[in-house]
Amino acid sequence: MKRNPDTLALAMDYAQAMESCAAYCAVTQPAIRTPEDAARLLRPVMDAATSGNSQEAFFVLLLTVKNRPAAAPVECLRGLLDTCPVHPREIFREAVRNGQTASVILAHNHPSGDPTPSKEDCDITRRLIEAGRVLGIRVTDHVIVGKPDASGPGFVSLREKNLVAFE
């Protein structure tokens, strides 16, 4: 099998981004209180994982009782250019394994750059909230990350937009 230097460099960049994020979370453990906090933490990890938003990926941010990250953001699923099949089993796997997880923030990117939620985004979120209730893990928010521009910050919080009932 032939080794591609570009692929190796990309893998190294991704590994470095994940290590940096994990170190940041471990050392500072900033409380995640707003969607801006979540987007600030997730955007670099998402960009590194998806080669600069070339495909959709679904992440979960595990939070302690004090809303501090219990671990580095976890990539649960990776999809295609415009879709990512989501199942509660994959989303809550790490949350169940991690003994400190009290709640989660769901997040995924829109490779198009437009973070506007679709009907499917809202439907999936409702399904995951219900699954979280069964497991005793609260879903705090679902943040959709796009590209920032002059019209906005480049992300949308389903909680802030009141598109889904989180309580």
First to last CA, the chain: 51
Residue 165 lies in a domain: no
Residue 55 lies in a domain: yes
Nearest-CA neighbor of 144 among 107, 103, 91, 104?
107
Tokens at residue 57, please? 């990926």
pLDDT at position 151 is: 80
Residue type, 63: L
Residue 73 lies in a domain: yes
Residue 164 lies in a domain: no
pLDDT at position 78 is: 83
Residue 95 lies in a domain: yes
Residue 14 lies in a domain: yes
Do β-strands 103-109 and 138-145 pair in parallel, antiparallel, or remain unpaired?
parallel
Helix 35-49 to helix 5-28 angle (10° resolution) is 160
Q: Using the 8-state DSSP alphabet, how is residue 167 labeled?
A: -
Q: How many structural domains is the chain composed of?
A: 1
pLDDT at position 47 is: 81
pLDDT, one tens digit for every residue, the chain (167 residues): 466 667 667 677 777 777 766 666 555 567 899 999 999 998 888 888 777 667 888 999 999 999 999 988 999 888 766 666 788 999 999 999 998 999 999 999 888 888 999 999 999 999 999 999 999 999 999 999 988 888 888 899 999 999 999 97
Residue 163 lies in a domain: no
Residue 167 lies in a domain: no
**Cα→Cα distances 158→44, 103, 108, Å:** 20, 16, 12
Beta carbons within 10 angstroms of residue 77's beta carbon: 16
Q: For residues 47 and 106, give the distance between their C-alpha atoms in angstroms, rounded to a whole number.
A: 16
CB 107 within 8 A of CB 143: yes
pLDDT at position 86 is: 86
pLDDT at position 53 is: 62
CB 83 within 8 A of CB 121: no
State the CATH number of the domain containing residue 77.
3.40.140.10
pLDDT at position 8 is: 66
Domain hosting residue 102, numbered range: 5-157
**Cα→Cα distances 93→60, 62, 74, 101, 127, Å:** 10, 11, 10, 11, 15
